[in-house]
Structure 1
């Protein structure tokens, strides 16, 4: 079954809370409340109260096992009809884009008519763990019989058992953080510090301009007294960015800084999906068609760049749809790091890379940089891991709304050497 034979799926709305730097404005907000805010606002904004939707797919990266039913709980806490099912999903930074793909496929297959995709993450309400030794001993204590048994189990605890373990953005198979991996990539591709700072500068400028023009007015709503993404810096400059010290490789060779990397961020986002019948049932208008999507992976343990999988995913998706890299009016390339964006672009321009890694006969070519992240991206807006996908889906769909013959490409790199990409087009 291909994108040409399945039923069309449409993005018909989106809503999200403002994204803020972790440990600031949402410091005391629970994970559940963070996601519930975006879903509930979407429900009210599009008059979905009492409606039974086909499915709701929500996901996060930093989520506690105690909240294993959080997606369903968020739905039950909203004004959607309680008959609306929900499930939790996760593909690192591509989580909510992958959720979008899943719902689009369900619509395409005729399984559902309507659905909501979304994602959330917070580094302010982290699930803090204790060592496995603690877990084993606490279970022994629970199961011990009599006072003597329980006392013996209690006395078995040592200082190291009480040492908390914090989640880290780190690859288990290499021990390197995502930033450290990206430093390796920019060195391999010879990406300069200045080029990375320029991507970051434009991201802030584009996001600030979009806010000034009112683009986000019906996408981003006030939450906890915050009305706009708290990371956007309208007054930043190349000079200010150049003064920042390297954040990962702290030697003179390091080029990734806090200024050209996405910060740890708290936030949530949602997008509404419908079939043609679903549009009628909910009395909503389509913003854009969700045409196709693709996931791919690379072997980053043995030499591939950790964040290069979108190059493969895009190549596969374009071949299936008979498109070239130049057949787009908008390019939404997630800025985990400005350097990652530049590595991706340079790879597509390389004959050697495209032949060796993508199985193509020649390079995919260059893109028009004026079409890249025109409303800003993750360096400026922030990156609450699982919320980024539907942030981009919502923004791109709105850009395409009311246009004719326009098309947008979404590219999201993820931890684990994976990538999730998608095509949206005007209706």
Structure 2
């Protein structure tokens, strides 16, 4: 970049379909169906019909092998110019925020003028496959050179081979699911069910009010009979939440994570339009805000670090690079994979011991104003289609700053594999 200056990356629009609980409105919808709907809604909202964009990046966590070209196929299903390219990307739950980072870097470097970052995920249309032994026998039959060889392979089949294999989101290196890992984090930080329930309750109340106030009206496109996110529970109460049993640590009876303070399995898709200031101006678009910086981190959860704690490690580096403190933000969009995960992250930043040992800091990052946290609801209430959440929080951050007129938002998304993606949005 010897003769070029890095350009600012404008957030120009966002759109998603309502997030719906597994097995409900989108039970028969594919990742491509949902991604195409979210993209087309953005095309219509931002008047992009016939527009040739520089690139589109999107991905999914749970996907069929036929979706190897998901981004491009989804683009071809919209009114974007068919010459618009697309590429798949996956970073677990941080997929669409990472996609925004990649599209943003292309814009900043002058490679493209505008692009879309998106994510889609379904827990209802997951790939159900044959088990490994059966697969090997089928491959042996496929490459057999004679009828005799095919019959020989066929005779190896046993009843056990016909048991289907369902996908999971457990960690291959530990054999534990996210909930089990997060329960370990909750114990490490001494969390109670009550404080997790309180954050979850607030998430539902904020989300319900945001919908009631019309905040999401110009960020969401109805799809397959869904007008709103169908997991939001405005009538939930702390008394009801307190009666729920542990979801992941039933044996000891000491588990604190329940179905009420964890995200539900969710289907949905979300997309964000990014562009250069020049491109936006030429089309009469006012930037909502700007994607200022992104930081990614990973932790060694196999050796005992909390699986979902990587954002806590990414943020200090992000703050230092931008000469900011944790308190220099007007809003905080922290993904609630579990209420416990969000609280553990906040407590890590408040802990002098944690910040000294893990980050080498002389003092803790400190506390945030909880009134600025997930002000329009978080993932516990809105739902969490894995790859779509990053685009949801990015669009939310952009609109928050557009309405306020100025300010900063800190974004934080934890992911499987002990990773995290964080970002700064400003206006």
Deviations 1:145-169 (A, max 9, x none): 3332322222222223222111112
In 2, Cα distance between the equivalents of 1:397 and 1:154?
Answer: 58
Deviations 1:83-105 (A, max 9, x none): 11100000000000110111111
* Structure 2 residue aligned with 1:167: 167
> Does residue 380 of structure 2 align to residue 358 of structure 1?
no
* Structure 2 residue aligned with 1:338: 339
* Structure 1 residue aligned with 2:300: 299
In 2, Cα distance between the equivalents of 1:77 and 1:223?
Answer: 15
Conservation of the 8 A alpha-carbon contact between 2:31 and 2:60: no
Conservation of the 8 A alpha-carbon contact between 2:23 and 2:124: yes
Kindly report which structure 2 residues correspond to 1:24-423, keeping only aligned pairs within 5 A, or say none: 24-250=24-250, 251-423=252-424
In 2, Cα distance between the equivalents of 1:290 and 1:147?
Answer: 61
In 1, Cα distance between the equivalents of 2:264 and 2:8?
Answer: 36
CA deviation after TM superposition for structure 1 residue 5, in Å = 5.6
User: 5+ residue gaps in structure 1?
Assistant: none
CA deviation after TM superposition for structure 1 residue 300, in Å = 0.6
TM-score by length of 2: 0.97
In 1, Cα distance between the equivalents of 2:243 and 2:318?
Answer: 40
In 2, Cα distance between the equivalents of 1:28 and 1:402?
Answer: 36
CA deviation after TM superposition for structure 1 residue 392, in Å = 0.5
Conservation of the 8 A alpha-carbon contact between 1:48 and 1:282: no
CA deviation after TM superposition for structure 1 residue 404, in Å = 3.6
In 1, Cα distance between the equivalents of 2:318 and 2:255?
Answer: 34
In 1, Cα distance between the equivalents of 2:330 and 2:70?
Answer: 37
In 2, Cα distance between the equivalents of 1:271 and 1:358?
Answer: 32
Conservation of the 8 A alpha-carbon contact between 1:130 and 1:161: yes
In 2, Cα distance between the equivalents of 1:124 and 1:85?
Answer: 28
In 2, Cα distance between the equivalents of 1:404 and 1:230?
Answer: 31
Q: Which moved more, 1:320-329 or 1:131-140?
A: 131-140
CA deviation after TM superposition for structure 1 residue 412, in Å = 0.5
In 1, Cα distance between the equivalents of 2:97 and 2:272?
Answer: 10
TM-score by length of 1: 0.97
Q: 3-state DSSP class of the match of 1:401?
A: helix
In 2, Cα distance between the equivalents of 1:63 and 1:284?
Answer: 34
In 2, Cα distance between the equivalents of 1:21 and 1:233?
Answer: 12
Deviations 1:243-294 (A, max 9, x none): 1111000132100000000010000000000101220344322100110010
Deviations 1:166-193 (A, max 9, x none): 1112011111110000111010100111
Q: 3-state DSSP class of the match of 1:33?
A: helix
Q: Which moved more, 1:216-225 or 1:147-156?
A: 147-156
In 2, Cα distance between the equivalents of 1:348 and 1:166?
Answer: 38
Conservation of the 8 A alpha-carbon contact between 1:21 and 1:382: yes
Conservation of the 8 A alpha-carbon contact between 1:20 and 1:266: yes
In 2, Cα distance between the equivalents of 1:404 and 1:19?
Answer: 28
In 1, Cα distance between the equivalents of 2:6 and 2:297?
Answer: 22
Conservation of the 8 A alpha-carbon contact between 2:333 and 2:373: yes
Q: 3-state DSSP class of the match of 2:404?
A: coil
Conservation of the 8 A alpha-carbon contact between 2:290 and 2:425: yes
In 2, Cα distance between the equivalents of 1:77 and 1:25?
Answer: 21
CA deviation after TM superposition for structure 1 residue 402, in Å = 4.3
In 1, Cα distance between the equivalents of 2:68 and 2:235?
Answer: 42
User: 5+ residue gaps in structure 2?
Assistant: none
In 2, Cα distance between the equivalents of 1:259 and 1:161?
Answer: 37
Go from structure 1 to structure 2 and tell me whether the alpha carbon gap of 1:5 and 1:368 turns closer, same or farther (over 3 Å shift). Answer: farther
CA deviation after TM superposition for structure 1 residue 242, in Å = 0.6
Conservation of the 8 A alpha-carbon contact between 2:59 and 2:118: yes
Q: 3-state DSSP class of the match of 1:7?
A: coil
CA deviation after TM superposition for structure 1 residue 140, in Å = 1.4
Q: 3-state DSSP class of the match of 2:196?
A: helix
Conservation of the 8 A alpha-carbon contact between 2:5 and 2:109: no
Q: 3-state DSSP class of the match of 2:337?
A: coil
